Structure 1
Amino acid sequence: MIERCAKREITDWIATGKSAFLVTGARQIGKTYLIRQCLKESHYPYVEFNFIEQPELIALFSGAKDARELLMRLSLASEKPLEKGKTIIFLDEIQEFKDIVTRIKFLVEDGSFRYIMSGSLLGVELNDLRSAPVGYMNICDMYPLNFMEFAKAVGIHDEIMDTLRESFKNRTPVDTFVHSKMMDVFYLYLIVGGMPEAVDVYLKTNDLAKVGQVHKNIIRLYKKDFSKYEIRYKLKLQEIYDAMPGQLDQKNKRFQLNSIGKGLSYNRVENAFLWLKDAGVAIPVYNIAEPKLPLIISENRNLFKLFFSDVGLLTSCYSNQVKIAILNKEKSINNGALFENAVAQELTAKGHKGYYFNSKKQGELDFVVELDGKVVPLEIKSGKDYKRHSALNNVLANEDYEIPEAYVFSEGNIEIDGKRIYMPIYMIMFLDHTKLENTIYKLDLSGL
């Protein structure tokens, strides 16, 4: 069984939640399966409605004038009796029936039942899905399996994870044998990725060709979604998506607009890029003018790198022979794009807002993040010469930036060299914000 990080958040809501609960994310990342699993394990009675498999429900529910009438129609459509105060109502694929979210306030206020929902992020629908009144709905964002979830799925035990976390925290080298095995797991992650069906097929068959077929089916499904919106909103979704592998393979991974049409300005195609981001199928990493807090102030949305939402989907663009060469760590294969995509994916899943920095005088930093109130550059190296990083040296030497340290993620083991912290690439899974212990602040106006 594949354990997901979002499970705890869902089970906590099932145990104590009062407001409605919405799980969002891209297609095929396991939202429905996880919710269903959590509901079954809770032993609470529940009923499930799916607005894709049961499109007639949309017309049925749309005709309800108020919460009372809607509940009556829910009861009539249910295959099981609804028990007030006990039954949990699971509404799946709600992007097909956006109005259900605007009515959640009244259903929650009625208090007869509790509601958990799942919705795929299909671009322009996203804002509508998140428009429920504050206080009536909590939102959980799901993503493909992150590296830790994947590592546990293929057999890395919690004891090993705890040991690795201690090495990351104390910055002490990982045991050589363990390091070698973890690098094998990471390279496998580059091929299989984090889409649950692909991981499941690998666990059952170990057949990378079958895994690749799963990836192709998912991409085919995504492109089917694209076609619905390209005509309606005049977007260039498929052209952009098809151009992404080639763009990431360039030395300068910044997305070039001329790859999808000559003379295009960003303003003309901005909505297409935002659709891909909001739908959860692409991860933009924007340029910043300088690595100083707060990073968002110097964000430049005209310059960006565009990564796949899942590294396995990117690798599916390669031939099976190239995939085997990647697993064998053959020197002829440039894994730079795959390493960076895996990092972009991990940062997104952990809630980091990733940027990149590029200066003619100083060079380019692969990623820059805000971590615990500090600017932290991240350099991602896939080759053996991971200690060559002139741009990082230039930025660390610039006193105006006041950067205390930087991480270099590579195939190497843990090592410290001044402000440079060398980490194995798989350690990106531990790059978390420190939880604030005391956030209580009381204003003292005595003596005013």
Structure 2
Amino acid sequence: MFRKSLDDLLNWKNSKTRKPLIIRGARQVGKTWLMKEFGKTHYEKAAYINFDNNERMESLFNGNLDIERIITALQIETGVKIGTQNTLIIFDEVQEVPRALTSLKYFCENASEYHIIAAGSLLGVALHPGTSFPVGKVEFLDLYPLNFLEFLSAMGNDELVELLKSKDFSLITTFKGKYIDLLKQYYYIGGMPAVVASFIEDADYEKVRQLQKEILMAYEQDFSKHAPNEAVPRIRMLWSSTPAQLAKENRKFIYGLIRQGARVKEYELAMTWLIDCGLIYRISRVT
């Protein structure tokens, strides 16, 4: 599956000022696949570490953050001999071990020759208070669901992608019907990689809808797991109102759709939390 972000990662790899990279994005947008695919296609080896429920790695990073010590342990954990130029080090679900995130500062300062990428969901909200974030010592890449061009490519329509890029508008108009049909499919299926992959395999719209519901349920489970207890009800109410907000002809966010008499101040924390999770985006009106 083609992702434009692979080109961004290649530019990062070749940069003379490369720093450890953090890939940000909501759950299920393809962060893990992207890192593994990049390691497979552009490096001889990849050392992949998933920090979710990984007690050994939690113990490692809660100790001394000496880079040589960390590299030795990562080699034992992954069975991969880590080189400075031919190996991609991948930290996945890094929010589960905040000290692993802190270690990126020391990779930048003391061992910048290593190629290291980290990713995590809910990085803006899941880290414990007091976590030392490596400000200025890392780069960021924001990953989103597949856009329409990536969707076309995934569906086996690379020629239509190239035609759009050529800006040959008379020829594009000739195939207007094809583009419209595929755009309608995109509106229904969306850009979540797992959902797109399922449709490519089965062409089953019911399965598509079921997978979409499961992703939404996983998001809602995160509300209870990571949000402040007192904010969870308002987060759920705001989140539930989002489809109705988008369905209005006037796209201005109306707090009264959440509940009658709702005020901005009441839902400010809930709004910020959902934005930090990458689940909604604030678009300011420009006049």
After TM superposition, the score normalised by the length of structure 2 is: 0.86
The verdict on how the C-alpha distance between 1:114 and 1:241 changes in structure 2, with shifts beyond 3 A counting, is same
Residues 108 and 114 in structure 1, CA contact (< 8 A), matched pair in contact too: no
Match of 2:11 in 1: 12
- Shift of residue 254 of structure 1? 2.6
Residues 86 and 113 in structure 1, CA contact (< 8 A), matched pair in contact too: no
Greater Cα offset, 194-203 or 11-20: 11-20
Q: What amino acid maps onto 2:282 in structure 1? A: P
Match of 1:197 in 2: 194
Q: What amino acid maps onto 1:80 in structure 2? A: V
Residues 36 and 46 in structure 2, CA contact (< 8 A), matched pair in contact too: no
Paired residue secondary structure (1:89): strand
Residues in 2 aligned to 1:49 and 1:266: alpha-carbon distance in whole angstroms: 41
Is 1:271 aligned to 2:273, yes or no?
Answer: no
Residues 122 and 275 in structure 1, CA contact (< 8 A), matched pair in contact too: no
Residues in 2 aligned to 1:152 and 1:74: alpha-carbon distance in whole angstroms: 36
Q: What amino acid maps onto 1:120 in structure 2? A: S
Counting only pairs closer than 5 Å after superposition, residues 119-198 of structure 1 correspond to structure 2 as 119-125=120-126, 131-134=133-136, 136-158=137-159, 160-167=160-167, 172-198=169-195
Unaligned 5+ runs, structure 2: none
Match of 2:250 in 1: 252
The verdict on how the C-alpha distance between 1:21 and 1:130 changes in structure 2, with shifts beyond 3 A counting, is farther
Match of 1:23 in 2: 23
The verdict on how the C-alpha distance between 1:163 and 1:115 changes in structure 2, with shifts beyond 3 A counting, is closer
After superposition, the CA RMSD in angstroms is 2.7
Paired residue secondary structure (2:284): strand
Match of 2:101 in 1: 101
Instruction: Compare the two structures and name the one with the higher helix fraction.
Output: 2
Q: What amino acid maps onto 1:283 in structure 2? A: Y
Paired residue secondary structure (2:89): strand
Q: What amino acid maps onto 2:281 in structure 1? A: I
The verdict on how the C-alpha distance between 1:212 and 1:62 changes in structure 2, with shifts beyond 3 A counting, is same
TM-superposition CA deviations, 1:167-211 (whole Å, max 9, x none):
47xxx5555440111011111100011000010011111111111
User: How many residues are aligned here?
Assistant: 283
Instruction: Compare the two structures and name the one with the higher strand fraction.
Output: 1
- Shift of residue 108 of structure 1? 2.8
The verdict on how the C-alpha distance between 1:130 and 1:7 changes in structure 2, with shifts beyond 3 A counting, is farther
Residues 95 and 129 in structure 1, CA contact (< 8 A), matched pair in contact too: no
Paired residue secondary structure (1:48): strand
Q: What amino acid maps onto 2:188 in structure 1? A: I
Residues in 1 aligned to 2:250 and 2:135: alpha-carbon distance in whole angstroms: 43
Residues 123 and 277 in structure 1, CA contact (< 8 A), matched pair in contact too: no
The verdict on how the C-alpha distance between 1:110 and 1:255 changes in structure 2, with shifts beyond 3 A counting, is same
Match of 2:114 in 1: 113
Residues in 2 aligned to 1:39 and 1:45: alpha-carbon distance in whole angstroms: 7
- Shift of residue 248 of structure 1? 2.2
Residues 94 and 118 in structure 1, CA contact (< 8 A), matched pair in contact too: yes
Q: What amino acid maps onto 1:200 in structure 2? A: A
Residues in 1 aligned to 2:174 and 2:166: alpha-carbon distance in whole angstroms: 16
The verdict on how the C-alpha distance between 1:131 and 1:60 changes in structure 2, with shifts beyond 3 A counting, is closer
The verdict on how the C-alpha distance between 1:261 and 1:147 changes in structure 2, with shifts beyond 3 A counting, is same
Percent identical among aligned pairs is: 28
Q: What amino acid maps onto 1:268 in structure 2? A: E
> Which gives a bigger RCO, structure 1 or 2 (Cα 8 Å, sep 6+)?
2
The verdict on how the C-alpha distance between 1:100 and 1:175 changes in structure 2, with shifts beyond 3 A counting, is closer
- Shift of residue 257 of structure 1? 1.8
After TM superposition, the score normalised by the length of structure 1 is: 0.57
Residues in 2 aligned to 1:104 and 1:98: alpha-carbon distance in whole angstroms: 11
Q: What amino acid maps onto 2:110 in structure 1? A: D
Match of 1:44 in 2: 44
Larger Rg: 1
Residues in 2 aligned to 1:133 and 1:63: alpha-carbon distance in whole angstroms: 21
Residues in 2 aligned to 1:255 and 1:39: alpha-carbon distance in whole angstroms: 41
- Shift of residue 122 of structure 1? 4.5
Residues in 2 aligned to 1:88 and 1:70: alpha-carbon distance in whole angstroms: 15
Residues 29 and 192 in structure 2, CA contact (< 8 A), matched pair in contact too: yes
Paired residue secondary structure (2:37): helix
- Shift of residue 57 of structure 1? 1.6
- Shift of residue 15 of structure 1? 4.6
Residues in 2 aligned to 1:70 and 1:187: alpha-carbon distance in whole angstroms: 49
1:210 pairs, out of 184, 207, 211, with 207
Q: What amino acid maps onto 1:32 in structure 2? A: T
